Structure 1
Amino acid sequence: MSSNTFSLASKVKLPSGHTIPQLQLGLYMMSGREVLSSIPQALSAGYRGFDSAQMYHNECEAGQAIRDWLSSPSSNTTGLKREDVFYTSKLASCSTNYQVVRRSIKSSLEACGLGYIDLFLLHSPYGGREARLASWRAVEDAIEEGEVRSGGVSNFGSRHIDELMGSNPRIKPSVNQIEVHPFNTQEGIRETCKKHGIVVEAYGPLARAMRMNDPTILALAKKYECTPAQLMVRWSLQHGLIPLPKSVKKARLIDNVKVAHFEISAEDVAKMDGLDEHLVTDWDPTDAP
């Protein structure tokens, strides 16, 4: 893997056939105002993917920021179109009521105003088997009706993935978005996803800055002449993940993804893998019943 393999232009092909930017900006815990300022900065810096959710309460602002930037000739100097930007949202909670989920997807689509949602995920496996499967049927129908391009899940453990795949879905999930970083490597779930051809998106790839001063991280950042954040993003990419680093600061938003100038050796990747302590920085529904 050559050291300049990864940039904001890097893409991964999803099982749905669509491509997804391999580096994206996570919009978790961003206020509407922060989203309105961060997305234009990110688009101008070269970001092409944005990860929102119903639970983030910023879908309207995310869609507005993307639309405004695309329609501004002074910002969008290269004439990018809607299809050049990848937008993700997620269902707040699974329900056994199919109609409720269908309406919820339509309201997300309305909120962003982007014409379609590139990737729509079930945000967690909470609710039980019937709710998960009914909710997935609603995602399949949203895809077939053109509201959503690709579907997936988030925070699904191995059992939930096997359950969904075992239900013989009409459309297979393209993505499972879970917390992954060197301090929570999630090897079991990643292995299950690999078995089913599901792409893994890594949220919290910087471990929410909780381990930036870890001695191993600091030593390797010094060795590779990069920041601890760049090291952790590069680790994600070399594992074939799609990391969603989050920052509201323009300089950091640009800096975090400058990872083409170095490549972590196999030995040092293994050293970082060894830091796993199953650190959960927010929530972990992957073992929900």
Structure 2
Amino acid sequence: MVDGVEGITLNNGVVMPAVGLGVYRSAPEETVDAIVHALRAGYRLIDTATVYGNEREVGEAIAGSGLPRSDVFVTTKLWISDFGRDEALRAFDISMEKLGLDVLDLYLLHFPVPSSFDRTVEAYQAAEMLLGEGRVRAIGVSNFRAGHLERLAAESSVVPAVNQVELHPFFSQREMRETHARLGIATQSWSPIGGVLVYDANDPDTATRLLDYPVITGMATRLGRTPAQVVLRWHLQHGLSPIPKSVNPERIAGNIAVFDFALSDDDMAALDGLDRGARGGPDPNEFDLAFFEQKLAAQT
């Protein structure tokens, strides 16, 4: 346990809280209040990234929380425009200045870039240096597929502690989870309650909303829980680390109130059966700066 929140022991012995608050798509002006509410509700893991544009607000909220620094686990991610050894080290320093931290708990590479994987490797080797210097407590990756992990392992010495991937009942990534288990990598779930299926959909008005799905709403009614709590409990019982995003105080509090009930084997099987095998977010095999810029242009 980590201050009353279940923890996951990473492959280097560092304990990471099992549930965290993600701040992707949280506007800077909303981020401080969201984190204040989260810390009061019992969260002890905050997940941000350079590209989110709110690292400074994350640092401000943590500094003003009154909690000892050691009580809050902070993750940030290196953006792909800063891949390369020297670029990664400079970007890390900028992130740390914004966060106002001396030591980071977890540093992730945000995406692999298959079209220039040599720079991906150089960035990870820079993270290995930071780990060796004690400037980070654990390092890992995000959105890496099995082939990317294999290529990285061939040119690095530290097994990633975490791989943060899109994961929810409609895209449960069973094979990826099995790969992680074999390699000793913790699986962290972004978009754990299916938000990506709406905000990344071609037409959000007609998108499939996971939390409205009858199997989930029916289970929630029977258990006296919210649909989000049911799905987050599914993650935990699979040994995953979900990082739901919200700026709503009631939802923030509800999303961590998931340690006082359990789903039955039949419930877990029913949720497992929702898997469609299709991701809602971008395919890491196709991701690079040009792809990202095209996505941004399409959203504006």
TM-score (ref. length: structure 2): 0.87
1:177 aligns with 2:164: yes
CA distance in 2, matches of 1:286, 1:216: 32
CA-CA distance at 1:280 after TM superposition = 3.0
Aligned to 1:258: 257
CA-CA distance at 1:211 after TM superposition = 1.4
1:27 aligns with 2:23: yes
Greater shift in the superposed pair: 259-268 or 49-58: 259-268
1:125 aligns with 2:121: no
Aligned to 2:272: 273
CA distance in 2, matches of 1:287, 1:163: 16
In structure 1, what residue type is equivalent to 2:31? V
In structure 2, what residue type is equivalent to 1:213? D
CA distance in 2, matches of 1:248, 1:96: 30
Is residue 94–residue 135 contact of structure 1 (8 Å, CA) maintained in 2?
no
Cα deviation 1:91-129 (Å, max 9, x = unaligned)? 110666311111111111111012111100000012532
1:215 aligns with 2:214: yes
Aligned to 1:40: 36
TM-score (ref. length: structure 1): 0.90
1:154 aligns with 2:146: no
CA distance in 1, matches of 2:3, 2:272: 23
> Unaligned regions of 5+ residues in structure 1, if any?
71-79
Is residue 98–residue 135 contact of structure 1 (8 Å, CA) maintained in 2?
yes
Is residue 161–residue 192 contact of structure 1 (8 Å, CA) maintained in 2?
no
CA distance in 2, matches of 1:96, 1:288: 14
CA distance in 2, matches of 1:199, 1:246: 20
CA distance in 1, matches of 2:220, 2:2: 18
Is residue 175–residue 201 contact of structure 1 (8 Å, CA) maintained in 2?
yes
Inter-CA distance 278–192: structure 2 relative to 1 (3 Å threshold):
same
Aligned to 2:73: 86
Paired residues for 1:48-63 under 5 Å: 48-63=44-59
More helix by share: 2
Aligned to 1:64: 60
CA distance in 2, matches of 1:95, 1:56: 14
Is residue 106–residue 137 contact of structure 2 (8 Å, CA) maintained in 1?
yes
Is residue 95–residue 132 contact of structure 1 (8 Å, CA) maintained in 2?
no
Aligned to 2:95: 108
Which secondary structure state, in structure 2, belongs to the residue aligned with residue 256 of structure 1?
helix
CA-CA distance at 1:287 after TM superposition = 6.2
Query: Cα RMSD over matched residues?
Result: 1.9
Tell me the percent identity: 37
Which secondary structure state, in structure 1, belongs to the residue aligned with residue 212 of structure 2?
coil
CA distance in 2, matches of 1:59, 1:265: 39
CA-CA distance at 1:283 after TM superposition = 2.5
CA distance in 1, matches of 2:128, 2:96: 15
CA-CA distance at 1:6 after TM superposition = 10
Is residue 53–residue 59 contact of structure 1 (8 Å, CA) maintained in 2?
yes
Is residue 11–residue 20 contact of structure 1 (8 Å, CA) maintained in 2?
yes
Is residue 95–residue 131 contact of structure 1 (8 Å, CA) maintained in 2?
no
> Unaligned regions of 5+ residues in structure 2, if any?
199-208, 289-300
Greater shift in the superposed pair: 133-142 or 216-225: 216-225
CA-CA distance at 1:170 after TM superposition = 2.6
Greater shift in the superposed pair: 22-31 or 255-264: 255-264
CA-CA distance at 1:279 after TM superposition = 4.4
CA-CA distance at 1:192 after TM superposition = 1.0
Runs of 4+ aligned structure 1 residues displaced above 6 Å come to none
Aligned to 1:75: none
In structure 2, what residue type is equivalent to 1:166? A
Inter-CA distance 204–7: structure 2 relative to 1 (3 Å threshold):
farther
In structure 2, what residue type is equivalent to 1:45? A
1:144 aligns with 2:132: yes
Is residue 41–residue 256 contact of structure 2 (8 Å, CA) maintained in 1?
no
CA distance in 2, matches of 1:95, 1:54: 10
CA distance in 1, matches of 2:2, 2:49: 26
Cα deviation 1:64-116 (Å, max 9, x = unaligned)? 1101112xxxxxxxxx3101100000011066631111111111111101211
